Amino acid sequence: MIAALTLVSGQQPLIAWHTDEELPACDLIVLPGGFSHGDYLRSGAIAARAPVMNAVRRAADSGVMILGVCNGFQMLTEAGLLPGALMRNAGLTFVCKEVRLQIANTDTAFTKYYDKDEVIRCPVAHHDGNYFADAQTLEEIEGNGQVVFRYAEGTNPNGSINDIAGIMNTKRNVLGMMPHPENLIEPAHGGTDGRRLFEAALKMVQSRAA
């Protein structure tokens, strides 16, 4: 993730540690993938209660753009910044493969450089990516256009309800997604399908700073 942000923005991002209680002034916060605290209890559950997450909550409330990928998505749901939960994959196995990802909503700061219903390639690597929400919550996020990404063309790797791969909050500044767009941003990766997400987000950051 650090390499992707550096490559697209042209500068090294600031790095925060989970014990930090404050964050520097910033326009974009990224919670990367990984296996925080060994995924004990539930994936992201311990990390969601780390001191730094209080600062992330304050930033989210103030309108700062936040992106959580894979374990970052799990942290956002566990912290209550996004609705629903990420459960164990339906097949009960770790999945590491490339999927087809449909852009369900382009009216966001992260997806405005894609076309509505465009299908792109994107890698996944997770054991607990099965998105679930109760019926009322699901109806709300579907009705509000909060579903941003869906697994397309039968490539749902984890059993996520409604093929959901990524969602936003109602304020449209917090995005969580299970696939890893940062792993497909340059030709050396075999494609650049994920690059436009970072280009769009950084363009929004630049326009806000201007």
- Is 22 an active-site residue? no
The span from the CA of 115 to the CA of 113, in Å, is 7
Task: Encode the chain in three state secondary structure.
Answer: CHHHHHHHHCCCCCCCCCCCCCCCCCCEEEECCCCHHHHCCCCCCCHHHCCHHHHHHHHHHCCCEEEEECHHHHHHHHCCCCCCEEECCCCCCCEEEEEEEEECCCCCCCCCCCCCCCEEEEEEEECCCEEECCHHHHHHHHHCCCEEEEECCCCCCCCCHHHEEEEECCCCCEEEECCCHHHCCEHHHCECCCHHHHHHHHHHHHHHHC
- Is 180 an active-site residue? yes
Catalytic hit among 26, 70, 96, 140: 70
Catalytic hit among 98, 122, 126, 182: 182
- Is 182 an active-site residue? yes
Q: Are 108 and 170 in contact (CB under 8 A)?
A: no
User: What are the residue numbers of the active site?
Assistant: 70, 180, 182
